Amino acid sequence: MAWALVIVAGLFETAFAVSLKNSEGFSRLWWTVSFIVCAAVSFTLLSIALRTLPVGSAYAVWTGIGAAGTAIVGMALLGDPVGTLRILSIVLIVSGVIGLNLAPSSAH
């Protein structure tokens, strides 16, 4: 359940980043409201998940989803440039998040 909260929180992180971009410096009311709501939901869900998850892994997943998701939305919908290096970099972000979660959770 906690990991599901982190994943949803990461999707809301993507939404708040896109809303922040579209708010144009908080000059557009509804995009600003969207940013505030999405940020509040994202941080709330993450904070609930952190009650039971290790902070390093949970934070890495949250930021990884947010970074990769925002880059993908930017390229797909906002006219950000698309290129091999950008796509490879997204793959590396996702790979790093997976690697952190596959690593042993306790030191031996």
- Per-residue pLDDT tens over the stretch 51-70: 999 998 899 999 999 999 99
Please tell me the predicted confidence (pLDDT) of residue 34: 98
- Going from N- to C-terminal start, the domains of the chain cover 2-102
Q: Please determine, for residue 96, whether its predicted confidence score (pLDDT) is greater than 50.
A: yes
Any idea of the CA torsion for 42, 45, 47, 48, to the nearest 10 degrees? 180
Burial class (CB in 10 A: 0-12, 13-18, 19+), 1: exposed
Do residues 73 and 22 make contact, with C-beta atoms less than 8 angstroms apart? no
